[in-house]
Amino acid sequence: MSGENRKKLRRARNSFFGTRHRIASFFISAADTRIPPRLGGLRWMPAAIVLLFALQLFTGILLSLYYYPEPEQAYHSTRFLLGEVSSGWLTRSIHHWAGELLLLAVILHVAGVFFRRAYVAPREYEWVAGAFLLLAVFVFRFTGRLLPWDTIGYEATRHGLGMFKTVPVIGPVMATWLRGGEDMGPNTLSRFFTTHVLIMPWCVVFVGGLHFYLGRRHAQEGEDS
Amino acid sequence: MLIICKPDLTEPDLQRLEMKLAELPYPLRWGRRSGRLVLLLERAHGDQEELQPVVEDPAVEHVLHNPSEREITRIFTRRDLLNLSLGTTGLLAGAAIFGPIAMYLAAPASERTARGDVLVARADAIPVNGARTKIIDGREFLIVRRDATNFHALARACTHSDVCLVDWDAKRRQLVCPCHRGIFDLNGNVVAGPPPRPLERLDVVIHEGAVYVRRK
């Protein structure tokens, strides 16, 4: 840690929050993190993923302000957002393209970890948590695509649920659960909306937190990433 | 030592001052304060004789021998200029990000033109010959759909005795007050019974498939 950093930390520790909540210890541990001397092998990808996810949270909240999760209103409110709301098209496009980039970044991250053999002991749990996060990205995309209730989203979801039905024994039951009935309707939209904006973000925050914490611990213990 | 020069120095003034300052062995900072050239000699108690030519220069207006910290920081230095431009850039960048967000959060133009209009329901949620009630500014109104395109909004309080509220009689296509059999037509005019005046009515606006009542 450089002298300048030490000075900053002392200031943080003596600040209003620092003296009350020991918030400085967080910054101390953050400042103590060893950055690999060379950030090759896509080791910077997690930062890009966190940044894109934060962007998705922010634009997602903005979008939810104009969105109604009800079949008829869903399509109209999306049209309204694109046509009438100032920068509505921009907000939606950012949400869309950041989602695409997020998938790309996650795949590159997985590839990097795989080819560096960074999943070997003691990082197995990190890898497993990461696998769940990869799954979460797919769930986000699948549920998000239906929300505008346009033809593409409707058909894509219908086909996706059709694939669920082909799973032996539990398939039809699972499809019915996800649909909230025998046919796609308001229940489906409601379920997909809740999954997209409420369940998945919190899952990602907790599983991602674990993934991040384990990565930090292993890095501090000098394990190669 | 803080040397405050006169305002509007000419080029010869500056050259003369520069030559005198160049002979001094002290580190020097300079800046601007309210348009005047201000010089700060780091050595507070310098050799008085050495400083004499500078202090007596006609371009110099005022000399502070022991300037306070505040007097010194009031000099506008190159670093201050850089800080100011960085700060301005930061503010502009912030405005570029948060301006569109503020515009996004503001109700869009089509909603703003409907300011004062109260949303009742989607048009297809009210059947023909059906009615909806809506409280507008604390008073209850009946919104009646006469046919596919025509809606009427009438105050429910009967003009005969305003503790009674009129109802929509779909069969007779009239508004009926249950208290004293006051009967009104869809324009609010009295058809029968004791009411002395027609019902108050408000204009109805259809906008993108939704029914709004326009406040007076």
Both A134 and A199 in a single domain?
yes
Is there a contact between B122 and B209 (Cβ–Cβ < 8 Å)?
yes
Is A68 domain-assigned?
yes
Is B102 domain-assigned?
no
Bigger pLDDT: B150 vs B80: B150
Number of structural domains in chain B: 2
Q: In angstroms, rounded to a whole number, what is the distance separating the alpha carbons of residues B33 and B5? A: 10
Is A99 domain-assigned?
yes
Both A103 and A178 in a single domain?
yes
- Here the tokens at position B24 are 């001094």
A184 close contact with B: CB closer than 8 A: no
CB contact under 8 A, A87 and B110: no
Bigger pLDDT: A197 vs A14: A197
Is B19 domain-assigned?
yes
Amino acid A87 reads S
Is B41 domain-assigned?
yes
- Here the tokens at position A183 are 């046919």
Of B100, B110, B208, the CB nearest to A87: B100
Both A6 and A89 in a single domain?
no
Both A26 and A89 in a single domain?
no
- Looking at chain A, the whole-number percentage of residues with pLDDT higher than 90 is 51
Both A28 and A58 in a single domain?
no
For residue B113, pLDDT over 60 is answered with no
Both B118 and B202 in a single domain?
yes
CB contact under 8 A, B108 and A84: yes
CB contact under 8 A, B101 and A87: yes
Both A99 and A23 in a single domain?
no
Place of tokens 């999954």: A195
DSSP-derived secondary structure letter, B173: T
Is A225 domain-assigned?
no
3-state SS, residue B201: strand
- Taking the alpha carbons at both ends of chain B, their separation in whole angstroms is 72
Is there a contact between B172 and B192 (Cβ–Cβ < 8 Å)?
no
Both A101 and A192 in a single domain?
yes
CB contact under 8 A, A85 and B104: yes
Both B119 and B45 in a single domain?
no
Both A109 and A79 in a single domain?
yes
Both A54 and A142 in a single domain?
yes
Judging contacts by C-beta atoms under 8 Å, the chain B residues touching residue A62 are: 101, 104-105
Is A160 domain-assigned?
yes
* A92, A186, B120 from A190: Cα distances, Å: 20, 6, 24
In A, minimum Cα distance to B124 occurs at A72
Both A64 and A154 in a single domain?
yes
Tell me which of A22-36, A147-161, B157-171 is least confident: A22-36
Residue A27 confidence (pLDDT): 63
Both B66 and B159 in a single domain?
no
Judging contacts by C-beta atoms under 8 Å, the chain B residues touching residue A86 are: 100, 103-104, 106, 108
Both B121 and B204 in a single domain?
yes
Judging contacts by C-beta atoms under 8 Å, the chain A residues touching residue B99 are: none
CB contact under 8 A, A85 and B101: no
- pLDDT band of residue A26 (cuts 50, 70, 90) is low
Both B140 and B51 in a single domain?
no
CATH number at residue B142: 2.102.10.10
How close is the nearest chain B Cα to the Cα of A7, in Å?
A: 21
CB contact under 8 A, B101 and A62: yes
Which residues form the domain of B124? Answer: 113-214
For residue A102, pLDDT over 90 is answered with yes
For residue A151, pLDDT over 60 is answered with yes
Question: Mean per-residue pLDDT for A188-202?
Answer: 95
Is B105 domain-assigned?
no
Which residues form the domain of A115? Answer: 41-220
CATH number at residue A193: 1.20.810.10
Residue of A86, A91, A93, A95 to mutate when probing chain B, most B C-beta within 10 A? A86
Both B140 and B210 in a single domain?
yes
- Here the tokens at position A31 are 């400042």
Both B72 and B118 in a single domain?
no
Of B103, B109, B208, the CB nearest to A87: B103
Both A27 and A118 in a single domain?
no
Q: Is 0.95 topped by the overall pTM? A: no
A59 close contact with B: CB closer than 8 A: no
Residue A204 confidence (pLDDT): 96
Both B124 and B68 in a single domain?
no
Judging contacts by C-beta atoms under 8 Å, the chain A residues touching residue B101 are: 62, 87
Judging contacts by C-beta atoms under 8 Å, the chain B residues touching residue A80 are: 108
The tens digit of pLDDT for each residue in B144-165 reads: 999 888 999 999 989 988 788 8
**Residue ending a domain, choose from B19, B52, B78:** B78
How close is the nearest chain B Cα to the Cα of A115, in Å?
A: 39
Both A12 and A71 in a single domain?
no
Q: In angstroms, rounded to a whole number, what is the distance separating the alpha carbons of residues B203 and B116? A: 12
Is B106 domain-assigned?
no
Number of structural domains in chain A: 2
For residue A124, pLDDT over 60 is answered with yes
Of B104, B110, B111, the CB nearest to A87: B104
For residue A191, pLDDT over 90 is answered with yes
